[in-house]
């Protein structure tokens, strides 16, 4: 189902940069180095070359603290719940890792200063239309590491590179919705929307779920935060919610937008509450109006993991 879209969405570049910050949050970067920009979206034709420069920052206030940073490329994608998965460079069909040439694979950054890392992006003449992507990792070694030390403290941040090769086609649809009901009234309803990206470009999807009663009255609105969905992927967009909400039959109407300035995408599912939902933390017992449902509450989709220090090497 498609609906008119009156408002203008946030730019794709802004949303892709936001996704990069989710993958590699600034709080983690501050324990080692920071990178700017966090992500870059290019449009390039086959055979074209693009040159770019990154700024690598060492936030330490100690000017004597020098951090060694190793730069390397890798592939990544996402599982159905949006968690990133990492692979060696060149593993994925739409990998752009082999297109990138770094000016250096290692640099040293003094505390309180920044350095620049340049790279060139060479799009092959045989590049297929659509989005290609890679991740440029910047891995720093703890300055306290000693020569011959068995376990070294390492942490990494990343710069995400997206390349749109014309012609590009955008398209998406809702392929499923579900609502798992809680057995404890102070627990949330676990609502999920499955979005399929049927185009050849990465899209930033956002939207809302409207919970409406039997007469169509709006009971509450659940926001769906910005999520990047890669081409060809089917991804679960969680939209769980708490009470208070009275017993009864409800329609959950999902309204999504993936960058189209004129149209939204919609889908719906129906669920019935046997008792009133209470606010989180309430100890009130359920007020039954029917048999207790046999629905089991599945594990909620986990948030995107952040890179973490790993003894002996990068995560």
Least trusted range by pLDDT, from 154-163, 196-205, 266-275, 306-315: 306-315
Domain covering 11-165: architecture: Sandwich (2.60)
Domain with CATH 2.60.40.10 in the chain: 11-165, 172-273
CA 199 to chain centre: 18
Each residue of 100-123: pLDDT tens digit?
999 999 999 998 999 999 999 999
Each residue of 72-83: pLDDT tens digit?
999 999 998 889
- pLDDT of res. 262: 86
Each residue of 121-151: pLDDT tens digit?
999 999 999 999 999 999 987 655 555 554 4
3-class secondary structure, 17: helix
Determine phi and psi for 188, rounding to 5 degrees.
Answer: -85, 155
Across the chain, mean pLDDT equals 81
Long-range pairs for 12-19 at CB < 8 Å and ≥24 separation? 12/41, 12/203, 12/204, 12/259, 13/39, 13/40, 13/41, 15/204, 15/206, 15/226, 15/228, 16/41, 16/160, 16/162, 16/202, 16/204, 16/228, 18/204, 18/226, 19/160, 19/204, 19/226, 19/227, 19/228
pLDDT over threshold 90, residue 253: yes
What does the alpha-carbon distance between residue 87 and residue 101 come to, in Å, rounded to a whole number? Answer: 18
Higher pLDDT, 128 or 10: 128
- Beta-carbon contacts of residue 79 (< 8 Å; ≥ 6 apart): 85
Higher pLDDT, 280 or 131: 131
- pLDDT of res. 311: 30
pLDDT over threshold 50, residue 288: no
- pLDDT of res. 256: 97
CATH class for domain 172-273?
mainly beta
Residues paired with residue 159 on neighbouring β-strands, in sequence order:
136
């Amino acid at each position: 189902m498609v609906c008119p879209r009156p408002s203008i969405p946030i730019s794709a570049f802004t949303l892709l940069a936001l996704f990069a910050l989710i993958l590699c949050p600034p709080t983690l970067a501050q324990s080692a180095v920071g990178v700017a920009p966090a992500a870059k979206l290019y449009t390039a034709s086959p055979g074209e070359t693009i040159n770019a420069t990154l700024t690598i920052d060492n936030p330490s206030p100690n000017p004597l603290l020098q951090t060694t940073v190793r730069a390397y490329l890798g592939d990544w994608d996402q599982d159905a719940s949006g968690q990133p998965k990492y692979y060696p460079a060149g593993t994925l069909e739409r990998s752009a890792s082999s297109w990138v040439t770094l000016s250096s694979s290692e640099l040293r950054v003094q505390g309180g200063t920044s350095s620049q890392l340049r790279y060139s992006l060479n799009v092959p003449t045989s590049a297929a239309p659509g989005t290609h992507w890679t991740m440029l990792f910047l891995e720093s070694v703890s300055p306290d590491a000693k020569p011959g030390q068995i376990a070294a403290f390492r942490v990494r941040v990343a710069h995400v590179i997206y390349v749109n090769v014309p012609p590009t086609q955008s398209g998406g649809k809702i392929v499923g919705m579900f609502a798992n009901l809680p057995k404890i009234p102070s627990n949330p309803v676990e609502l999920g929307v499955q979005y399929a990206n049927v185009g050849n470009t990465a899209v930033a999807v956002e939207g809302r779920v409207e919970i409406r009663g039997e007469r169509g009255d709006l009971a509450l609105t659940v926001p769906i935060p910005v999520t990047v969905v890669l081409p060809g992927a089917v991804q679960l967009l969680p939209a769980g919610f708490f009470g208070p909400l009275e017993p009864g039959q409800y329609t959950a109407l999902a309204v999504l937008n993936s960058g189209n300035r004129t149209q939204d995408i919609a889908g719906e599912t129906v669920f019935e509450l046997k008792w009133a939902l209470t606010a989180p933390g309430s100890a009130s017992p359920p007020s039954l109006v029917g048999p207790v449902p046999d629905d089991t509450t599945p594990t909620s989709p986990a948030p995107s993991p952040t890179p973490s220090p790993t003894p002996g090497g990068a995560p």
